[in-house]
Each structure stands twice: as structure tokens, then as C-alpha cells.
Amino acid sequence: FTRYTRRVRIVGHDEPGRLVVIREVTAERQSERAKEAFVANVSHEVRTPLAGIIGFSELLLGREFTAEERTRHLETIHREAQRLSSLVDDFLDLQGMDQARFRIVPAKLDVRDVVRQQVSVYTGRDDEHPIRVRMPDAPVTTMADELRIGQVLGNLLSNAIKYSPDGGEVTVDVTTDDGIVRVEVADRGLGIPPSHLAHVFERFFRVEHEGHERIGGTGLGLALARELVELHGGRIGVESTEGEGSRFWFTLPASG
Ligand code: ADP
């Protein structure tokens, strides 16, 4: 109780001891629940690609296929293995940041190149999510780690697609103003309820999108994106309307 009392004195209330205790317990229970959900989410995120890898390799080993079918199945195995690999990478990156082992390697970079590269990864994956890009004609230069900024943008793009289960255009806008480069990724998907908006960049946090519980994830992607953008001296944020769509953006300092 002394712990709470001390806390109460610091915030300068007279007798709000009980309130503080309740808050403490609620926070503890919430983080306990988030951890349980996280373990369940990660298990699912590991199991799903593993099931694909095992299933399709058994299929290939079981009988002869045409060259075309073979390639298609191998592509599935490759894609699922990459999914697993990026899950492990996210963990290791966050752990590296916690232990201050993480380094970015900034170099002069035209942000338009990163956008073109990432958009090409996600273009044509399905017909339901056309990607429209608007960028200045002139180079948009910044000092940044190309791989890491690509990772941030890739994350926003894959979320825009993943959380638009009914399809809809995804737009990417690059602008530069007053020494700041701004990249925005907008979708016409599920959107995020106002009460959850402030939390989406927290580790493990996942919104429960009603009726779309099957959309998988770990809740690490945006937390990592925020750390990466902030390491570059930029900011990240989101505006969203539930049922209409979301607009995620990040900024980077421009360099001449
Ligand atoms: P994950 O997608 O693995 O759950 P993220 O950290 O990438 O984790 O995102 C955290 C949560 O924010 C997601 O679970 C999702 O509910 C919400 N979210 C992220 N991007 C979008 C988006 N474009 N539209 C709607 N919700 C989103």
C-alpha cells in the first residue's frame, strides 16, 4: 500500500488511494490478457505458414506434377517460408532495439525509389487492391536506411491490403514541404475505432475488428515501424474512420 500512497502523493491528490489501486490492477490484468492473446496470435502466425510448407512439400513429394503446377506449389512454399522469416526478423529487430544493439545505416536516398520498389512488391497480388501512387516529378531526397524505410512502407502497404478484406484502392502519396518528406498510405478498409487509434503503435496491440477475427497478425509491425521512423528523426501517425478506411503516414527530414 505504501507504494500506492507514495504515488498518490506525487500526483498531489488527497485520498485517491483506492482509485490508483484499481487502475494498477486493471493495467496489470490488461497486460496479462495482451500477453495471452499475443502467445495465441504468434502460435497461429507460426502454425499457418508451417502448415502450408509441410502440406505443399508433401504434395510435391507424393506425386508427379507438370512444370507449371510444380512452380506454383514451390512459390507457395517460398512465400510461406518468407512469412515465417519476417516474423522472426521482427522479433529480433525489436529485441535489438531494446538492447540498444540496433543500428540504421543512413545514406542519401530518393524516397520515390523506395516507393516504386515496395509498390512493385504488392502490385498485382490480387485485382481487388489496385495501388495508386502520386509522387513529385523531382527527386525527394533524405538521409535514410533504404532497407528500413522499405520495411516501414512495406508494412503499411501490407496492412492496407490485409485490413481491406472487401477490396478497395490503396493510395500512396509522397509530398515534401518545409524540409519534411511525408509518405501516406490510405485504404478504404475496415478502419479503426477512435478509442483504439492511440494504441495501434504499441507492441502486441491488435484491434478486434468485429466479424474479421480471422485476419491474422502479431501486433508487432506498427510498433517496429514507429521505432524505425523515430530512429530516422521522423514521426508516424494515423487518421482513420471506422468502416471507411485509414490513412497512415510517416515523415522524414528532407536533405538537399
Ligand atoms: P498486426 O497486423 O500483426 O496485427 P500491426 O502492428 O501491423 O499488427 O497493427 C496493429 C493493429 O492495428 C492491427 O491488428 C489492426 O487491428 C490495426 N491496423 C493496422 N493497420 C490497419 C489498417 N490499414 N486498417 C485497419 N486497421 C489496421
91, 162, 200, 236: residue to mutate for ligand 1 pocket, most atoms within 8 A of CB: 200
Q: Please report the pLDDT score of residue 11 as a whole number.
A: 40
Q: Are strands 131-134 and 170-177 parallel, antiparallel or unpaired?
A: parallel
- ipTM of the prediction: 0.99
Q: Are strands 141-144 and 107-110 parallel, antiparallel or unpaired?
A: antiparallel
**Ligand 1 center–CA 181 separation, angstroms:** 23
Q: Please report the pLDDT score of residue 125 as a whole number.
A: 80
Question: Cβ(31)–Cβ(23) under 8 Å?
Answer: no
Question: Cβ(252)–Cβ(181) under 8 Å?
Answer: yes
**Ligand 1 center–CA 45 separation, angstroms:** 14
Mean pLDDT by 10-residue block, N- to C-terminus, for the chain (256 residues)? 35 51 70 82 92 97 96 95 92 92 95 98 89 97 97 97 96 97 98 94 91 90 97 98 97 93
Residue ID of nearest Cα to ligand 1 atom 21? 159
**Ligand 1 center–CA 155 separation, angstroms:** 10
The model's pTM is 0.85
Q: Please report the pLDDT score of residue 10 as a whole number.
A: 36
Residues in contact with ligand 1 by the CB-under-6-Å rule are 159-160, 163, 187, 189-192, 200, 205-207, 209, 217-223, 246
For residues 139 and 145, give the distance between their C-alpha atoms in angstroms, rounded to a whole number.
17
Hunting for cell 500506492 — which residue is that?
4
Q: Please report the pLDDT score of residue 182 as a whole number.
A: 98
**Ligand 1 center–CA 25 separation, angstroms:** 27
